[in-house]
Every structure is written in C-alpha cells, then in structure tokens.
Structure 1
C-alpha cells in the first residue's frame, strides 16, 4: 500500500501573551498511513517561531547536507489583522512542511514528530528529543490531548525567548484586544481528530532511527 502523508496549516488565531502583546498561531493537521508516525491523525497548534525552531533543529541534526526548504520570510510589518499577509504566511508554512515530509531522511527526526504530533513547548521538545525527560517521544505523542508534560514556568520561558524576535508578535494597545479570534473564516474541519491514539500498538520504525 502506498504511504500517504497529508498536512494542512490552517485556522489562524490571535493568542494573547499579556495585556500588551499578542501573537498568531496556526493549526497543523496531519493525516497519514505511514508507519513512521505513531498517530495517523493528529492536530496541534504552532506559531511562527516554533517553525523557525524546527528548521534549526532539522538542520543541526541532519547527518547529510540536506538542503532544507525555506520558511516564509519574517516581515517586520506583519500585521495580525492583515488577512492577505496571514494567508500568504500559512501557504508558505504548509509548503515548508509538505517538502519536509517528502524527504525520507527527515522522517525519523524526533523533533519533527514532537513538533507535528505533540503540544510540548520548545524547551520540552528539545529535552525529550535529547533523552532528558522521564517520557519518550512516542509517549509524548500518545499523551497529546491526555496530559500536559510542561509547566506554566516552561511556557513563560519559551514565550520570553521567542516573543521579541518573532515577527508574528505585535502589540495590542487597543482597549479591547482580541484573544483567540479566528482571523479568517475557518475551513471545513476533517473527520474528528483522534487524540487518544489508535487501539493497535504502533511504533515508529524508520530506516535511520526510531522516535
């Protein structure tokens, strides 16, 4: 059977850091029958700075000189209220993931699996991929939607590391800053996503390693 990996980046939402700052995150939906993935259907939310983190980790961990696709460039004038800019960025992020997932050499990368199928913070993804957590990559993926492996302290540290340098952040100085509002019309949702994992035990078994 031919292995298929389909990914979508959609549903942009404004999230609030504090009273003054906000950022945009996006839903990443993955549908696959590939044996490389623990979950066949998953959905997580990620922001632009996390995509930057993923590309850096893939570049660092690549044993071969793989030419990674580029992310949509940072735009100092990026606006959380500009639908055209948001749509262009979403298309660029989706194209980036589609090209990454076409490369078999990258499918065994732990950071890629944690990025796509867990809601761990950047610091926790790094720690888990390095074997410095009490849970494995597979457990983190299976636990997505069931338990939280990171604390509020970790989240605040990640926000402080990424907020200032991330061009998807902006100041919310209006009297009524929007929080978690959908900027664009939400597309039709796929079949209900299974956060509980499949009943049959599945393992990630790729040629260059196991996550």
Structure 2
C-alpha cells in the first residue's frame, strides 16, 4: 500500500524578542500513515531561519547525494504588514517540505524528525541526533505533548493572525487566511515568547503542542 504524508505550513504568528525585535513563526502540521514516523499526527511551530538550518543540515547529512529543493529566498524588504509576502513565504515553505518528504533518504534523517515532531531548538536537535543528550530521538518525539489536530475550520474560528519582519517562525494556520487581521492582532500574538531551547525543551513540556 502506498504510504501518505500530508504536511501543512500555516498560521503565521508574530513573536517578540524584545521591544525592537520580532519574528514570525509558522505551524507545521503533519498527518501520515508512513512507517518512517512513530507519531502519525503532529503540530509544531518553526521560524524561517530554522527552515534554513534544516535545509543546510539535510544537505550535509545526505553527503550531497541529492540536491535539495530551494527555500523561498530571504527578502531584505520582508514586512510584517505585507500579507502577500507572508502568504508567498508560507507557500514556499510548504512546497519545500512536500518535496523533501518524498525522499526516503531524507526521511531517515533524525534531524528532520526532530524538526517536524519536537520543539527542541536547532542546537538541541543537533545534540540529540548526535547522541549527546540524556534522551533519545524517539523519546524527544514521544514526550512532546499531543495537541488536538485543528481543522481549517477550527483555525478560521480562532484566527488572530499576525505578521513579522524577515526574521521567521510561527504556528499552525491557513496558508491563505484573512491576512489583513495580522497587523490588528499583532499585540495579542506577541504576548507569549517562543522559548525554544530553554528548560521547556529539556523537560519535554511542549506547550505549543507538537507530536
């Protein structure tokens, strides 16, 4: 039987590091019956710079045996108030994921699984994949709390979208939502910081709900 892997990049939300610096992260939703994945349904949030890291890591780990697809280019004029730019970036990130998830070689890479199904920071993903943590890759994935998998309809009902500058990162959302609400709801979405790489990760208490 043919195995199916569905992925979505959606729900852009603004995150604020401090008064001057903010970025957008995006939700990555995964639904699959593939034997490559222990968890069949998951949801995590990642930012654009983490996608850049993932591509570089996968390219290095594959020993240049395959040429990875391109990410949407970094735009020095990327604006959190530009709905079209945000939508185009989301579509580009989703296309990138769809293409790499078609490669059996890449599907065997632990970094990809931790990127998609844990909320570890990229530095901790590298450490875990290299066996330098007290937990294994499987434990990192399994101990992340499951969250209910939201439908597009649910997301539209809960929409409070936000945008960002060319930093990157977000939660699960519709690829083409009502982007005009981004700027309006900016203050709401920036309230909670994304503490990737902190004690949250070490305790595997994935508050944003990955799988």
Shift, 1:168, TM fit: 2.4
Q: 1:135 to 1:102 in 2, by over 3 A?
A: same
Shift, 1:81, TM fit: 1.5
Counterpart residue number, 1:99: 99
Counterpart residue number, 1:144: 144
Q: Matched residue of 1:74: which SS?
A: coil
Is the contact between residue 27 and residue 44 of structure 1 (CA under 8 Å) also seen in structure 2? yes
Counterpart residue number, 1:80: 80
The normalised TM-score by structure 1 is: 0.71
Q: Matched residue of 1:29: which SS?
A: strand
Shift, 1:20, TM fit: 1.3
1:157-172 → structure 2 map (5 Å cutoff): 167-168=166-167
Shift, 1:145, TM fit: 2.2
Hey, what's the Cα distance between the residues in 2 that align with 1:4 and 1:22? 36
Counterpart residue number, 2:49: 49
The normalised TM-score by structure 2 is: 0.71
Hey, what's the Cα distance between the residues in 2 that align with 1:31 and 1:57? 23
Is the contact between residue 44 and residue 210 of structure 2 (CA under 8 Å) also seen in structure 1? no
Give CA-to-partner distance per residue, 1:47-77, whole Å, 9 cap, x none: 0000001001101100352010000000000
Structure 2, unmatched stretches of 5+, are 147-164, 169-184, 191-208
Hey, what's the Cα distance between the residues in 2 that align with 1:64 and 1:85? 31
Q: 1:75 to 1:128 in 2, by over 3 A?
A: same
Counterpart residue number, 2:189: 180
- Give the length in aligned residue pairs: 159
Q: Does 1:59 align with 2:59?
A: yes
Counterpart residue number, 2:127: 127
Hey, what's the Cα distance between the residues in 1 that align with 2:144 and 2:130? 19
Question: Whose radius of gyration is greater, 1 or 2?
Answer: 1
1:18-33 → structure 2 map (5 Å cutoff): 18-33=18-33
Give every structure 1 segment of 4 or more consecutive aligned residues whose post-TM-superposition deviation is greater than 6 Å: none
Q: Matched residue of 2:53: which SS?
A: helix
Hey, what's the Cα distance between the residues in 2 that align with 1:196 and 1:92? 22
Give CA-to-partner distance per residue, 1:127-182, whole Å, 9 cap, x none: 00111000000100011127xxxxxxxxxxxxxxxxxxx9326xxxxxx962516x
Structure 1, unmatched stretches of 5+, are 147-165, 170-175, 182-194, 198-211
Shift, 1:40, TM fit: 0.1
